[in-house]
Structure 1
Amino acid sequence: MTPSEILEVCAERSAFVRANSLRWSPARGELSERAGFVQTESGALIGIGDVPELTRLIDDSSIEAATFALMPIGMLEYAGTMMRERFRLVGSGPDAGAWDWMYTRDLPPVTPGEEYVVPLEGRFEEIAEAIAVANPETSAAENLAEHEWWGYQRNDRLLGVCGVDNYGVEPGTPDGTRYGIHLSGLGTRPEARRQGVGSAMMAAITRHFVGEFGLVHYGVWSNNGSALRVYRRLGYSTAAQIQNFAPAAA
C-alpha cells in the first residue's frame, strides 16, 4: 500500500485521523489489522490502534528519526524507552502530553454571554495582545493570519479569543462535513476567568460552525477536568485520547 492509502485506512478507523488528515502529507507508513502509522513529510509520526501492535510496527520499520509524534494514550508507559532511545522523543505537555480530542455534531445549549462573541476579522494587533496574556503558550499564536479569529468583547474590551481552522474545505460540502473545523488558541484574560467567558465563546462558535460544517473539534489536556466538564455540557464527546511526544531537551 502507498503511504496515502495507509493514511486513508487509518482515517477510516479513527475519527481523529479522518478530521485532521488534510494537515498531513504522508511519506511512509505501516499497517496491520490492529494498528497503523504514517510518517509525514515533515517527520511527524501519527499512530493509531493497539499500543503493543503499534509499537511492533514502528520498531520493525526502517524509520530512524522523527520530529514529533501523536500516539494513542498508553504509548508512553508501554514504549517510552523506545521512543526516547530511537527517536529522542519524550512525552510533552501537562500530564506527560496526554490530551482528549473532542468533537460535536450537535448545537450546544444556549449559554449566557453568547451575545458578546463576535468575529475578529483583521484585528490582529488586538488578538495578539489578548492572546499574549490569555493563552501565551498556544501554537496558534505563531501565525495569527493562518486562523479565523473570534472573540468575547464586552464594553469595548476583548476579554477572550479563539482561533478557527477549516484546512481549506468549504462549508456545506461533503469535505466540510467529513473534516469539519478545528478550534485552537482558546484563552480568557486572567481577570475575566471563572465568569463564563470561555463557555460563551465555545458555545457561540460551536453553534455557528456546526451550522456551517456539521462537525467541530477541539483538543484539551486530559488533566484539565474543569474544562472537560464544560465542553461535555456543551455537547462535546471524547473520540480519542492522544499522547504528544516532542524532542527531548538537550
Structure 2
Amino acid sequence: MSALLTRLPARWRAHRALLGGDGRWDDAHVVGDDDGVLLAASSDAGPSLFGLGDVRRVGALLDAEVAHPEAGSLLDRTGFVDRARWLTVPRGTTPSARVLAALRLAPFSTWDWLAADAVPAAWAADPRVVRLDPLVDAAAIRACLAVANPGTSADPTHPGEAGWWGVRGGDGLVGVVGASLRGGGPGRAPSWHLHGLGVRPEARGRGVGTALTATVLADGLAAGCAFVSLGMYADNERARGVYERLGFRTGLECASFGPRGADRPAP
C-alpha cells in the first residue's frame, strides 16, 4: 500500500477507503488529481477500476481513459482495453454507454462503505459469539452462509483473512461473520474489513448480527487496528441502523458495475 500512496494525489493519501484497501490496489495504476482520481488494478480477468472524488471529474476520467483507450492510457497499462473485472465509482457518477460497452459491464449495485474507530461505551462481550477456526470450521461457515447470506463472495479460506466468528445453535452455526486484514505498513496501523455477515432466518431478531458485528469491531481495535470497515447495500436501512448504533459512519457512497449476469460482488 505504501507504494500506492506515493502515486496518489495529495488529497487521497489519507483517505480511509484507500488506507483500508486490499492488496490488489498496491500496484494499481493511477490517474487524476485532488478533484477526482481513478485507479486500475490489473488481474488475469481484466482490471478492477475504482474512482473517488467529484462525480463529474470521475466521469471525465472514465471517458478519457476508457472510452478512448489509446496507447499509454490507464486501461492500456493494465494489459486490457476491451473489458474490466469490476468498476466502482462515487454514487451519482454516470458512466457513459460507451464506457460500459468498452468495459463489458452493467449496473450491479449501490452500496455504502462505513468505518468505526471506537467501541461503544455501553458494549459488553456477548458470550454467544465464539472465535472460529477458518480451516477446521470452513465447511460449517459455508453451510451457514449458503442460507444466511448466499450472495456473499466472502470465504474463510481466502488469503488475508483476519478471522471468523460465529454463534452456534442446536443444529450448528446460526450466524457468522469474517474480517479481512487490510492496509498497514511502516508507521501505519492496519485495519479490518468486516464481510460475510449472515444470520439464518430462524435466528433473526435476537441480536445475533449486532453481537457479531460488535465483537469484530472490539477485537479488531484490540488487535491494534486503526479502524474496522464494512460495506452495505444502500437500501438496507435496518442494517444501517444497527451499524450506526455501533458507531460506524459512512465514508463513501458508491455504485458498482459488474459483468452482465453477475450474481455477487467480485471477491
TM-score range, shorter chain: 0.7 to 0.9
User: Could you say which residue in structure 1 is the equivalent of 2:174?
Assistant: 159
Displacement after TM superposition at 1:182 (Å): 0.6
Please tell me the residue identity of whatever aligns with 2:16.
A
**Which one has a larger percent helix, Structure 1 or Structure 2?**
1
Question: Cα 1:233–1:4, aligned 2, differ >3 Å: closer, same or farther?
Answer: closer
Identity rate, percent: 29
Could you tell me how far apart the structure 2 residues matched to 1:82 and 1:10 are? Answer: 29
Displacement after TM superposition at 1:81 (Å): 2.2
User: Could you say which residue in structure 2 is the equivalent of 1:29?
Assistant: 30
Mapping 1:82-93, distance limit 5 Å: 82-92=98-108
Could you tell me how far apart the structure 2 residues matched to 1:197 and 1:109 are? Answer: 19
Question: Cα 1:111–1:197, aligned 2, differ >3 Å: closer, same or farther?
Answer: farther
Q: Is the 8 A contact 1:7 1:26 kept in 2?
A: no
User: Could you say which residue in structure 2 is the equivalent of 1:114?
Assistant: 126
Mapping 1:26-105, distance limit 5 Å: 26-42=27-43, 43-61=47-65, 62=69, 63=75, 64=81, 65-75=83-93, 78-92=94-108, 97-105=109-117
RMSD over aligned CA atoms reads: 2.7
Equivalent position SS for 2:115 = strand
Displacement after TM superposition at 1:223 (Å): 0.3
Displacement after TM superposition at 1:144 (Å): 5.2
Instruction: Please report the TM-score for the alignment, with normalisation by the length of structure 1.
Output: 0.84
Displacement after TM superposition at 1:28 (Å): 2.8
Question: Cα 1:227–1:120, aligned 2, differ >3 Å: closer, same or farther?
Answer: same
Instruction: Please report the TM-score for the alignment, with normalisation by the length of structure 2.
Output: 0.79
Question: Cα 1:145–1:156, aligned 2, differ >3 Å: closer, same or farther?
Answer: farther
User: Could you say which residue in structure 1 is the equivalent of 2:210?
Assistant: 199
How many aligned positions are there? Answer: 239
Equivalent position SS for 1:128 = helix
1:235 equivalent among 224, 244, 247: 247
Q: Is the 8 A contact 2:11 2:34 kept in 1?
A: no
